[in-house]
């Protein structure tokens, strides 16, 4: 098949090159607040699997952020990218549940082989028809990506990831209200760099909750992790663990408090096997910030915020 030239390239910074293999992805730097100013392109932060799609001659392959070939697991997405020529997309494979991306539902869909539930949001274009685009400005890469979607008629399960120039704080506030994972702000003039840098900045929304402490893992001076529970219908069920969010001094204080509640048996209604656990009576509760609760009922991406006397 003859290579079909795509309108709009070469853009400034585009370099003629053969199609590369897997490209190590650019990663965003976590910040507490979204940056201000119109130089920033603000996008939804999707809660899914980072996937790099390589299209060549009407066929596509899907790679994870670590370069594993997951084409079979994302077969429906790969099949949908049926375009002439060659292209490399950067994006996120997701499942939409209740108007937002849901990582737990994505895991369930992958485990059950339910390809029809999985969609793909493309947010960057790294290579196109003989041109390496990584040195092209972010805004130009997004323009080329949008043009590619429009001219090639790409449709569901493939989506172009929209952005808003500026208004990062307002977009983040909106994201929190809609229970999105957060936003990613991208410097419109920056190239694509295969490392973690401040050309991309992520700001994450989070939930908070207070959960009974049912056990802990010791470390030499304090605690390495806390096991948590949740009261459910008169039962105390396992909620997962938290292992970050405290200083060495705070860890020692937590240990002293929990040592007063040590018990020989797990207080959980249905005990779980945790060989390293020191079980405690649920006299204390941990205030925890977390991203979500998995389909197994466990906390995801949790961080400790404080310990309180329960009751």
Q: In this predicted model, what pLDDT tens digit does every residue of 38-50 receive, in sequence order?
A: 999 999 999 899 9
What is the pLDDT, as a whole number, of residue 138?
98
Contact predicate 182/167, CB 8 Å: no
pLDDT number for residue 82: 87
Which two structure tokens, joined as six digits, stand for 306?
A: 């404080």
pLDDT at residue 98 above 90?
A: no
Query: Which pair of tokens denotes residue 117?
Result: 């539930």
Q: How confident is the model at residue 7 (pLDDT cuts 50, 70, 90)?
A: low
Q: Domain 207-309 has what CATH class?
A: mainly beta
Question: Which residue from 188, 193, 140 is spatially nearest to 24, judged by alpha carbons?
Answer: 193
- Cis status of the peptide bond prior to 78, with omega within 30 of 0: no
Q: Which helix (H) or strand (E) holds 299?
A: strand 299-300
* CA distance from start to end of the chain: 72
Range name among 96-100, 116-120, 125-129, 282-286 with the lowest pLDDT average: 96-100
Higher per-residue confidence, 208 vs 12: 12
How is the chain split into domains, by residue range?
15-204, 207-309
The token duo for 254 is 């937590």
Question: pTM score > 0.85 for this model?
Answer: no
Pairing of strands 131-132, 164-165: unpaired
Helix, strand, coil shares, percent, the chain, to 5: 20, 40, 40
CA angle 234, 208, 227 (to 5 degrees): 55
How much is the average pLDDT of 242-246?
91
Annotated catalytic sites, by residue? Answer: 45
Where residue 204 falls among pLDDT bands split at 50, 70, 90?
confident
pLDDT digits (tens, 9 = 90+) for 74-94: 999 999 998 999 999 999 999
Q: Is the pLDDT of residue 296 over 60?
A: yes
- Which superfamily does CATH assign the domain made up of 15-204 to? DNA ligase/mRNA capping enzyme (3.30.470.30)
């Amino acid at each position: 098949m003859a290579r079909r030239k795509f309108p709009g390239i070469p853009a400034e910074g585009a370099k003629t090159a053969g199609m590369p293999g897997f490209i190590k992805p650019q990663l965003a730097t976590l910040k507490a607040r979204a940056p201000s100013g119109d130089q920033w392109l603000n996008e939804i932060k999707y809660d899914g699997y980072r996937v790099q799609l390589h299209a060549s001659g009407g066929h596509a392959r899907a790679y994870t952020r670590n370069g594993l070939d997951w084409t079979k697991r994302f077969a429906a997405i790969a099949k949908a990218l049926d375009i002439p020529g060659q292209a490399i997309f950067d994006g996120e494979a997701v499942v939409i549940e209740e108007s937002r991306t849901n990582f737990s539902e994505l895991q369930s869909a992958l485990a059950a082989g339910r390809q029809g539930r999985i969609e793909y949001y493309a947010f960057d274009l790294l290579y196109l028809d003989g041109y390496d685009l990584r040195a092209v400005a972010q805004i130009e890469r997004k323009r080329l990506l949008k043009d590619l979607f429009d001219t090639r008629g790409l449709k569901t399960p493939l989506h172009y990831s929209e952005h808003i120039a500026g208004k990062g704080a307002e977009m983040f506030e909106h994201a929190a209200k809609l229970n999105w994972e957060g936003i990613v702000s991208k410097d419109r003039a920056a190239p694509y760099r295969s490392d973690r840098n401040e050309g991309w900045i992520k700001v994450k929304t989070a939930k908070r909750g207070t959960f009974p402490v049912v056990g802990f893992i010791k470390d030499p001076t304090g605690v390495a992790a806390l096991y948590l529970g949740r009261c459910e219908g008169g039962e105390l069920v396992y909620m997962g663990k938290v292992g970050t969010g405290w200083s060495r001094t705070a860890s020692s204080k937590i240990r002293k408090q929990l040592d007063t509640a040590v018990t020989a048996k797990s207080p959980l209604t249905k005990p779980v096997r945790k060989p390293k656990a020191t079980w405690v009576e649920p006299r204390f509760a941990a205030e925890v910030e977390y991203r979500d609760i998995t389909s197994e009922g466990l906390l995801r991406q949790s961080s400790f915020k404080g310990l309180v006397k329960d009751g």
